[in-house]
Structure formats: C-alpha cells, structure tokens
C-alpha cells in the first residue's frame, strides 16, 4: 500500500510592516475603485534589516523541531529573490535553523511555481524515506516597482511547510496535470530589476491553466470537479483568479453560477493574500493556510483542487485531501494575529524602506539603519528571537538574533 504523503504543518511570516494598498494606488495616480477591483487591503513590507533569508528563517522557526535536530533530512528553499548567483540561500537557512550536517539542502527557482516544484520534490523524497521529514520554505520580496501598474499587488513573505508521511494538513493525491511553455512574461535580469509584461503574463496564466486542468481531468476522471469542496489558485491578483475559476466552470460545470461558486469555493482562501499581496513562490500556499483557517468545510478527507503557475512558464493542477487535524494544526500559528500586529506605514516611509533594502541587496558594504523605521526594532524585534540582517561586508551577509 502506498504511503500517504503531504503537508503535515504550514505557517507563514509576513514581516512586521505593511502599506495600505488603496493609499499606494492613489499615490500612483489610481483611484479607490482601482484598488477595490484588486480586492487588496495591504501589502507586506519588510524593513531593510530583513531580507529573503530572514523571512525564510522566521517563517520556519515554528517548525524547527528543536527537540529532534535530525527531524529533517531535506531542506528545499524556493525563491526568485536569491541573494547570490552561486551560493544557495538555503545554506544560510540551514545554518540559522540549526539543522544538522545530515540534512541536504538546495535552492530552487521557477518564478511563482517554485514552491510547488519544491513540494513535489520533497514529497517524492519522503515517499522514498517515509520515516524522515522534509522542510520546504518559500521566500520572496518584490523589487522596487515604483509606478509600475503591478506595484500595489506585489508583496513579501515566506511560507514554511513540513512534509511527512501521514500528514495532518493535506494529503497529496497522485493525479496531476502539467503544462509548460517558454514565455518571456516576468523576469528579474538584475538583482534589483523586476520587469512585468502584465498582459502576456495574465494570458499565459490562463492558457496554461486550461492545459493543466485538461491534463488533470484526463488523469482523475471527467467528473472529478464534483468532488471538490474548494479550489485554490496562485493569486497575483484576484480578478485573474476569478477568470481562471470561470474557465474551470465552463469546462467542468457550465450550469454553475460563477459568482456563487467563486464566493463559496475560492473566496475564503484569499483572506491572507489580501493582507500580504503577491508572495510569489508562496502565493498558492498562503491561500491554503487561509482556506484552512477560514473555510467552514475543512474536515478530514475533504478534497480540494490546487492550481500553481510560474512565469517563464510552468503550471500544474493537482489535488489533495485534508488530513486528520488540518484546522487545529494551522490555528496554532495565529496567522491572522501576526498580520494584524504589523505596523502600517505611509507611502513616503514605504519608499525609503524599499530604497534602503535595494542597497542591502547590491552594495558590497552595507549596515542596516533601524532608525529608518523609528521604534520598529524595539517594538517588534527586540527580545523576540527573530533573525535580522546584521551586516554586509565584501558582499558576505551576516545575521544575528534579535
């Protein structure tokens, strides 16, 4: 009998600051109506003494397993925000989580699909080593993007997932549908430049969705949609997810009311995305955490569909069933409280922080200046055991605990 494998625990870290999405939209010449259309409330903003490494470590602390340092035999960090073209970001994460030398680690990149790719690799490894666990972390930060149409929607954050046999949160099904096609829609050709061809990216997302869904349906059966209580999607912007769900209904349940179906099957999963913005490789997985926390139908064995897309491009539609203790497990992380505790900053402070963070990623010598966010370190970090960037010397990054 095949071992059930999947996500035993999941949590995220959205850092300690946020900027109001409506205020940012208006500051860039948009309107309140434009902001409402995106259904965004805020987007996360790390201070310049945080980076993709600290986001990853601070997300994973709750899954660290200090009582069993050998718990994890594999660490995979998914990111399109790496801090070096050779050294994997996972090496810093491995060190600061205190994982043993027996835990192999690597960094993977495929835009927003990387988190799903990492989970798939980890699940296959656990399937072959069911007595062991793997740790998958997604960590990403938007680049400057000042005045780009996508600026209000692009956020920051990290998701950490423990992958095990007999998981409590989500058991992965065997069936999947994959679609891949080279597309030059979103890219980061330098450490600070993020270029978004919005129209091309949105079209590729939907084109590959139809292909991936067709492949999944061929593997799982023509009537499989009827088994889903919910469907969750990689969510760069909510209107795109609404379009994808409409395409799904056209193919699988043409008599359904699109608005009712979206409200019932999808909307509960968007609660945290509305607070974080697009977290890139972690976007799909923040929707899973939100669904578990907010949907009424999270019971063992309930089946859901998942759609993952990454620019460049690769997409996958797959499914899973809630494990034995999904709601209790995720509730213990108090994710909504974490988001509510962030400091809300104005647009001018947001811009200062983004520019200083850019310097931290590009300069050979850099020392973070906590005073740029006055009082934040004392209020949100001091004595709380969070990892922060201490210094950059000759491009080598050193970290310390707050």
pLDDT tens digit string along 15-35? 999 999 999 999 999 998 988
pLDDT of residue 201: 86
State percent of the chain over pLDDT 90. 88
CB 331 within 8 A of CB 293: yes
Strands (E), 198-298: 228-233
Q: How far apart are CA 106 and CA 112, in angstroms?
A: 17
Q: What pLDDT, on the 0 to 100 scale, is given for residue 1? A: 67
pLDDT attached to residue 187: 86
Dist CA 389 CA 261 (whole Å): 44
Residue 74's H or E segment, with its range, is strand 72-78
Residue 6's contacts (CB-CB under 8 Å, 6 or more residues apart) are 123, 163, 164, 167, 169, 170, 171, 172, 320, 323
Domains delineated in the chain = 5-169+334-401 (3.40.47.10), 171-324 (3.40.47.10)
Whole-number pLDDT of residue 65: 62
pLDDT in tens, the chain (402 residues): 688 999 999 999 999 999 999 999 999 999 989 888 888 999 999 999 999 999 999 999 999 865 577 889 999 999 999 999 999 999 999 999 999 999 999 999 999 999 999 999 999 999 999 999 999 999 999 999 999 888 999 999 999 999 999 999 999 999 999 999 999 988 888 878 888 888 888 899 999 999 999 999 999 999 999 999 999 999 999 999 999 999 999 999 999 999 999 999 999 999 999 999 999 999 999 999 999 999 988 999 999 999 999 999 999 999 999 999 999 999 999 999 999 999 999 999 999 999 999 999 999 999 999 988 999 999 999 999 999 999 999 999 999 999
Cβ proximity of 40 and 366 under 8 Å:
no
Query: Cβ(177)–Cβ(219) under 8 Å?
Result: yes
Q: Whole-prediction pTM value?
A: 0.96
CA 343 – CA 366 distance, rounded (Å): 24
Residue 66: its pLDDT value, please?
Answer: 53
Could you tell me the CA-to-CA distances from 207 to 200, 237, 276 in Å, in that order? 10, 16, 26
User: Residue 221's pLDDT is what?
Assistant: 95
Which residue is it, tokens 């590729």?
A: 204
Q: How far is CA 36 from the centre of its chain?
A: 22
CA gap 8, 332 in Å, rounded: 13
Structure confidence at residue 193 (pLDDT): 81
């Amino acid at each position: 009998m095949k071992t059930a494998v999947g996500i035993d625990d999941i949590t995220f870290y959205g850092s300690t600051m946020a900027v109001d999405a409506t205020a940012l939209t208006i500051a860039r010449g948009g309107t309140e109506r434009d902001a409402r259309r995106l259904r965004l409330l805020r987007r996360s903003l790390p201070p310049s003494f945080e980076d993709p490494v600290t986001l990853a470590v601070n997300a994973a602390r709750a899954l660290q397993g200090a009582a069993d340092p050998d718990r994890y035999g594999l660490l995979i960090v998914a990111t399109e925000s790496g801090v070096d073209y050779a050294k994997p970001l996972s090496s810093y994460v491995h060190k600061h989580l205190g994982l043993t030398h027996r835990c192999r680690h690597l960094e993977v990149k495929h835009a927003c699909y990387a988190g799903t790719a990492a989970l798939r690799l980890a699940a296959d490894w656990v399937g072959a080593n069911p007595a062991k666990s793997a740790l998958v972390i997604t960590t990403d930060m938007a680049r400057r993007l000042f005045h780009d149409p996508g600026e209000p929607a692009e956020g920051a954050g990290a998701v950490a997932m423990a992958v095990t046999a007999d998981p409590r949160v989500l058991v992965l099904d065997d069936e999947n549908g994959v679609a891949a096609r080279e597309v030059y829609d979103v890219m980061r050709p330098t450490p600070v430049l993020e270029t978004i061809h919005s129209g091309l990216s949105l079209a590729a997302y939907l084109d590959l969705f139809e292909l991936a869904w067709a492949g999944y349906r061929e593997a799982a059966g023509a009537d499989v949609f009827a088994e889903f209580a919910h469907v969750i999607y990689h969510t760069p912007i909510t209107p795109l997810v609404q379009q994808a769900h409409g395409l799904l209904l056209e193919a699988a349940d043409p008599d359904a009311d699109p608005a009712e179906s979206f409200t019932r099957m999808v909307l509960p999963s968007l609660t945290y995305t509305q607070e974080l913005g697009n977290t890139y490789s972690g976007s799909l997985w923040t929707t899973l955490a939100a669904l578990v926390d907010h949907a009424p139908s999270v019971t063992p064995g309930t089946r859901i569909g998942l759609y993952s897309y990454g620019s460049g491009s690769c997409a996958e539609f797959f499914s899973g069933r809630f494990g034995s203790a999904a709601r209790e497990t995720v509730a213990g992380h108090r994710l909504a409280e974490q988001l509510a505790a962030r400091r809300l900053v104005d647009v001018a402070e947001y811009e200062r922080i983004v520019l200083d963070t850019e310097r931290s990623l590009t300069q050979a010598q850099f020392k973070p200046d906590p005073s740029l966010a006055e009082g934040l370190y004392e209020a949100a970090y001091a004595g709380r055991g969070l990892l922060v960037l201490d210094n950059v010397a000759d491009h080598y990054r050193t970290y310390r605990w707050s």
